[in-house]
């Protein structure tokens, strides 16, 4: 019976670790989309490495500091973390997460919407009881750029109506409100 209890305890600890890692991934997506440097920084250790495709390879905190102004100036964006595969190895976890990103860019002849699919290939570490990203590499799998054609579900949503909440890149976003 004690062997069964030990197995159940380890499974519970593993489940808790995986949930903590999922929480970091969700904070990351929210931090990027809200251009929240503090929230985004809470996902990484101070000495973490970020390899963001060919655009950046270095300290994650430096990447965040440099990206904030660009994120605030960019149009709408959304990062969706889909399924994640997590392999635990003591205080290290190897995590592959599928992501889909949407971003709107100002183009010379009108706004352009871009959809990109890829994967976050992360090494998480647990230090002092807390899971965070220690090294992130990004793999790009596909992309589709298209002229923006925002019609709000063919006019079903009136963007001027009271109660319509449009996403923001600051603490005025609805997700920060507590009521």
Question: In sequence order, what are the beta bridge partners of 50?
Answer: 58, 136
pTM: 0.88
Instruction: End-to-end CA distance of the chain: give it in Å, rounded.
Output: 47
Two tokens, residue 25 = 């991934």
The reported pLDDT for the residue numbered 133 is: 98
54-65 pLDDT, tens per residue? 889 999 999 999
> What CATH architecture does domain 2-151 belong to?
Roll (3.10)
Which of these, 70, 64, 72, lies nearest to 34 by C-alpha position?
Answer: 72
Cβ atoms of 52 and 71 closer than 8 Å: no
DSSP state of 173: S
Count of other CB atoms within 10 angstroms of residue 175: 13
pLDDT of residue 166: 66
Taking only the tens place, the pLDDT of each residue in 141-165 is 999 999 988 777 666 777 777 777 7
E-strand stretches of 38-152: 44-52, 56-59, 77-89, 92-105, 112-127, 130-147
Instruction: Give the closest residue to 138 by CA, choosing from 63, 74, 66.
Output: 63
- pLDDT for res 109: 86
Is residue 1's pLDDT more than 90?
Answer: no
Confidence of residue 4 (pLDDT cuts 50, 70, 90): low
**Tens digit of each residue's pLDDT (9 = 90 or more) over 74-91:** 889 999 999 999 999 999
Lowest-confidence region among 15-19, 26-30, 137-141, 153-157: 153-157
Euclidean distance between CA atoms 74 and 102, whole angstroms: 12
- What is the spatial distance between Cα 36 and Cα 119, in angstroms, rounded to a whole number? 22
CA atoms within 13 A of residue 70's CA, in its CB half-sphere:
9
Per-position b or e across 142-157, b if 16+ CB within 10 A of its CB: eeeeeeeeeeeeeeee
């Amino acid at each position: 019976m004690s062997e069964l209890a030990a197995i159940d305890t380890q499974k519970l600890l593993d489940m808790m670790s995986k949930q903590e890692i999922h929480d970091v991934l969700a904070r990351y997506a929210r931090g990027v989309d809200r251009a929240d440097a503090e929230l985004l920084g809470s996902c990484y250790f101070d000495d973490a490495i970020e390899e963001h495709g060919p655009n950046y390879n270095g300290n994650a905190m430096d990447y965040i500091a440099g990206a904030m102004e660009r994120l605030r100036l960019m149009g709408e964006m959304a990062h969706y973390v889909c399924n994640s595969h997590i392999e635990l190895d003591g205080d290290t976890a190897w995590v592959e997460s599928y992501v889909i990103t949407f971003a709107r860019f100002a183009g010379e002849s009108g706004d352009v919407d871009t959809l990109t699919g890829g994967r976050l290939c992360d090494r998480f570490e647990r230090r002092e009881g807390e899971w965070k990203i220690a090294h992130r590499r990004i793999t790009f799998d596909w992309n589709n750029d298209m002229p923006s054609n925002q019609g709000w579900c063919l006019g079903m949503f009136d963007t001027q109506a009271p109660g319509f909440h449009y996403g923001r890149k600051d603490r005025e976003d609805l997700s920060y409100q507590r009521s």
